[in-house]
Amino acid sequence: MRRPFQVLVIPYIKEGDKYFYALFKRKDLNIWQAIAGGGEGNESPTKTFRREAFEEAGIDQNSPYIRLSSITTIPVVNIHGFLWGNNIIMVPEIAFGVEVFSKELVVSNEHTEYEWVECSRALKRLRYDSNRSAVWELDYLLNNGVKDVSKNIQIIERYYKQ
């Protein structure tokens, strides 16, 4: 059964001193976005992002990743309707960056194509604010050598508990 959360996965690669991000064009909506999907069974968000990255782009499940502090909520009607009942109307979308070492990715049946772009181009191409925020954060972290956002995640989670 589908778990009540969504993951967002941004593949990235470094060439020289620049970072590039993979965007995927959705077949059903004809829009550009990062890889997205939901948890299955007892999967954690980390296991979900690894599976989704593999299923949708052929990315090795052992690839290095960064858990981003970017998090948003998505209306359940945009995912699977009221699958979890009328009391669960929004689910969190948790973002990750995943490093790849080749620009050759697989195109799943959910997408028609992908492209590698720099951050500024990605911010213009992406449809959803959550995708733009996550790409901006990932680009900032990579270009500034920030490897650990756990303190930022703790602050966010503390406010979610209030």
**Kind of pairing between the strands at 35-40 and 2-15:** antiparallel
What token pair was written down for 54?
A: 């593999």
Phi, psi of 16 (to 5 degrees): 65, -125
- The per-residue pLDDT for 139 is 98
Local confidence band at 150 (pLDDT 50, 70, 90 cut-offs): confident
Residue pLDDT, tens place only, 90-128: 999 999 999 999 999 999 999 999 999 999 999 999 999
Report pLDDT for 158: 83
Which residue type, as a one-letter code, is found at position 91?
Answer: V
Residue-number span of the structural domain to which 112 is assigned: 2-161
pLDDT-based confidence at 147, cuts 50/70/90? confident
CATH number at residue 70: 3.90.79.10
Between CA 130 and CA 137 the distance in angstroms is 11
What is the tally of structural domains in the chain? Answer: 1
HSE-CB for 120 with a 13 A CA cutoff: 1
Q: pTM (2 decimals)?
A: 0.92
* Per-residue pLDDT reduced to its tens digit, 9-68: 999 999 999 999 999 999 999 999 999 999 999 999 999 999 999 999 999 999 999 999
User: Contact, 99 vs 54, CB < 8 A?
Assistant: no
